[in-house]
Amino acid sequence: MTVAKEKLNLMCWNCRGVFSCIPFLAESLRMYNVNVCALSEHWLRTFQLHVLDSIDKNYISIAKGTDEFNPELLTCKGRSGVALLISKDIYPFTSLIEVNSDRIIGIEINIPNSEKYYVFSLYLPAVTQPYEYFRNEVDLLFELSSVYEEFGSVILMGDFNSKIGGPRCKIKYDERSKLCKTLMSTHNLCSVNMELMCKGPVNTFQSYEDGPSTCIDHILINRTKLQHVKQAKVIDNHSFSTSDHHPILCTLETESHLHHPQETSDPTVSWERARSTNSIEDYTFAVSTNLWTVNFPTTATPDVIESYYSCIVSAIKKAEKDTLPYKKFNRHSKPYWNPNLTVLRDSMRSIRNEWINNCHCHDTNCEFFQKYKSAKREFRTALRKAFDEYESNLAKTIESNLDIRSENGLDNHK
């Protein structure tokens, strides 16, 4: 099998009105060879979204206007809007993800023989908006992450309007940042621009007239993907930009299996456990025994050879299934998970499919929609409870261990 390294260049930016930032945005797309750019606060109404397709002929946009839910209004004072600019070389491999929000837009990137990526551009409610609005959007991010992380890598990009910490910046947690921390811990996410590898300013927002500066813009990826980040940078000193936010760049190295891709539906043998439990000896004996039962062909026609080959493969696969352990769900990545969460998650997915197949509407009086919202609410409540209990028990364990060390005098270094 040949494995080729490919790069996915990501960019996110709160442009604070795209009309005044088109020259800088076009230059950045070309200079950094961006594949997917997440824009927030473009301030365009629905009838103006075509402007995004004119920024660079090599990009195609998908977007939601500031009047997403009420495009018929004569006036619209909202300063929001989210978009994704997608380079034409990967656009044929993308599809839109339905998201019931005017602040979140997403796509699936399904390049043949490569891992799937689920990329979301977002602009969460500002601190001037009620906390309930913010929590509803984060709840939606919880749901999207829960659904799509089962099929590929989830990437969240945009203005979170909340501080998010990391190795480059320690923060004081408020109500918003605690909620984001729970989201990230639950789905093992981290902020690329808060990691030590990232270059450029730590704070991505610098208000005008030397006001406060904060780190509220982020690219979140699964922590296991950090090893594939080849470059991360916060762009500074951009004279053509009129925005008070700094753009963030991230280059991900992906693996494309060009020939004979592995079947993802087959279970994978856990060779580490096989060695530790001495299962390999049993496997060797089983292979030998099973192969003895395969009759050697008396003729060498193509059909006979094919049949003989299939018998050998079946004998080896049977030995594997009978003696070797397979990889299972890794509880270390979600140590708070429990059987009840599995039941509730599966139930939510089933009810969601029922809703989609019957109407896929968002009418609050719809029975299918109400049932889905209720199932999602029940799962989210149980998930938060399990995570909070896990963190509480972990804190108690650490505190208990510190007390024991103190009582034994182990903290007194000589």
- pTM of whole model > 0.85? no
Q: Is 31 helix (H, G, I), strand (E, B) or coil?
A: helix
Given CA atoms 31, 34, 39, 45 in this order, what sign does their dihedral have? positive
Strand-pair partners of 248 = 12, 234
Structure tokens at 175: 């109500």
Per-residue tens of pLDDT for the chain, all 414 residues: 344 448 899 999 999 999 888 989 999 999 999 999 999 999 999 999 999 999 999 999 999 999 887 776 766 667 799 999 999 999 999 999 989 899 999 999 998 878 899 999 999 999 999 999 999 999 999 999 988 988 899 999 999 999 999 999 889 999 999 999 999 999 999 999 999 999 999 999 887 666 678 999 999 999 999 999 999 999 986 666 778 899 999 999 886 543 333 334 456 777 777 877 888 888 888 888 888 888 888 888 888 888 888 888 888 888 888 888 876 655 445 677 788 888 888 888 788 778 778 886 767 788 887 888 788 778 878 877 887 787 778 777 777 776 666 666 655 544
Given CA atoms 278, 280, 285, 289 in this order, what sign does their dihedral have? positive
The confidence score (pLDDT) of residue 208 equals 66
List, in sequence order, every beta strand (DSSP E) within 151-302.
Answer: 153-159, 189-191, 205-206, 213-214, 217-222, 229-234, 248-257
Phi and psi (nearest 5°) for 248?
-120, 135
Q: Is 18 helix (H, G, I), strand (E, B) or coil?
A: helix
Contact call for residues 98 and 105 (beta carbons, < 8 A):
no
In this structure, which amino acid lies at residue 138?
A: V
Residues sharing a CB contact under 8 Å with residue 181, sequence separation 6 or more, in sequence order: 164, 165, 173
- As a whole number of angstroms, the distance between CA 84 and CA 65 comes to 12
Phi and psi (nearest 5°) for 325?
-80, 150
- As a whole number of angstroms, the distance between CA 331 and CA 354 comes to 29
- As a whole number of angstroms, the distance between CA 213 and CA 203 comes to 6
Other beta carbons less than 10 A from residue 86's beta carbon: 23
The confidence score (pLDDT) of residue 119 equals 97
